[in-house]
Chain A
């Protein structure tokens, strides 16, 4: 019985997914980065993130449905006729948004992708509005890890990768000067890797020209020095 329910729900989910990819043009492939023979690592939030979202969902659902039930109960006690008429409506309001929300959690999880290469990372998320962010490690200014008590319980954390430039947009997560990697269980190792890269970089990550920064001795300097040595050698040999 249980497996049948699972199979049906899986089939329904596949159907929704199919509609999204074919009619609403939601890409079903993970994003890629243009790269020259470097390995790409594409990953999704960890399993814990799905559990975390579902846990929050169940709590909200309980509050929401209890509120509806209490409201309906009050009306029924005051006026049983109206209560009876409202019963199916209340039931619909209590159930339909839950199913949609539950579906949305799964879809949100399945459409969130992170791709990291040697030089840059790309984040893609969203269903109605698909949002892709590309940041090169060279431009990273700081990396923030955030973990709430509930997230700690599920062993996940959010990673915020910020580039230069201010201005927090009110959307927060979709803020423009940052990339959000949420719900990963290896936030620390990603942080290590990123901060290593930032530390090795010799620029401020503001679009500086490398030539001016790195070339202390150019070929011309060397050639001139060689000339001096040769001249000196000739002069001294005389």
Chain B
């Protein structure tokens, strides 16, 4: 099963714990776009960069950041609804991207935005391969085949047991 996630050979998301330093440069540029409000735009982003931590494990992702107000988001791969990869022009120049992950919650914005990963396409494809429905497990024919096979076998066995009981006539047990 896990071989299918090998489409991104050599890429191991579990090794990602911190965003790439180039993310700070990107934040500087984005803050410059805010013009005179630069310090107000830059400080939160700076602290976000300084404290941002990712953890990718077998079942899910968690990210946390913040100095005064700390925030931590956890989600499992199975609950991912859709994945968005967004790259604006500055991000493209720096090789960055925003991988936004959506779960089935009520908010309109993405539940988790992963920034500052250089291998964003690989990460997206890795997440995709972990997502529900991306692999053979839920393809209809497989889905229908396995349980019915088991159920048929169970029915067969139950029938045999019934026949066995029937063949031994009740009332006069064999000596």
A interface residues (Cβ-Cβ under 8 A, vs B)? 24-26, 33-34, 36, 118-120, 128-139, 163-169, 175-177, 179, 200-203, 205-210, 214-219, 221-222, 225-226, 228-229, 232-233, 236, 238
Contact = CB atoms under 8 A, between A and B. Distances in A.
B41 interface: no
A169 B109 contact: yes
B128 A165 contact: no
Contact of A169 (B108, B125, B164): B108
B137 interface: yes
A138 B133 contact: yes
B107 interface: yes
Contacts of B168: 236
A232 B161 contact: yes
Given A34-B128, A128-B89, A229 B82 contact: no
B140 interface: yes
Contact of A202 (B103, B143, B146): B143
Given A134-B85, A225-B161, 15 more contacts: A36-B4, A119-B135, A120-B134, A130-B88, A133-B82, A135-B82, A163-B104, A166-B106, A166-B107, A168-B108, A201-B133, A207-B103, A217-B153, A221-B154, A225-B157
A205 B138 CA distance: 11
A233 B167 CA distance: 10
B51 interface: no
Contact of B84 (A132, A202, A205): A132
Given A119-B134, A163-B102, A210-B143, A225 B89 contact: no
Contacts of A164: 81, 104
B62 interface: no
Contact of A133 (B8, B84, B139): B84
B119 to A, nearest CB: 14
A134 B82 contact: yes
B154 A217 contact: yes
B38 to A, nearest CB: 22
Interface in B69-101: 76, 78-89, 92-93, 100
Contacts of B146: 214-215
Nearest to B105: A165
A109 B33 CA distance: 29
B131 interface: yes
Main secondary structure of the interface of A (DSSP, over half): loop
A-B pairs, top 10 by smallest CB distance, nearest first, are A138-B133, A167-B108, A136-B133, A164-B104, A207-B79, A25-B92, A34-B7, A217-B150, A132-B85, A225-B157
A36 B6 CA distance: 11
Given A25-B93, A129-B87, A225 B158 contact: yes
28 contacts: A26-B92, A129-B89, A130-B87, A130-B92, A133-B83, A133-B85, A135-B82, A136-B131, A136-B133, A138-B132, A138-B133, A163-B81, A176-B84, A179-B82, A200-B140, A203-B132, A206-B104, A207-B76, A207-B104, A209-B78, A216-B150, A219-B150, A222-B150, A222-B154, A222-B157, A226-B157, A232-B165, A238-B174
A24 B89 contact: yes
A132 B99 CA distance: 9
Nearest to B8: A34
Contacts of B18: none
A164 B124 CA distance: 20
Given A134-B83, A176-B109, A200-B140, A207 B125 contact: no
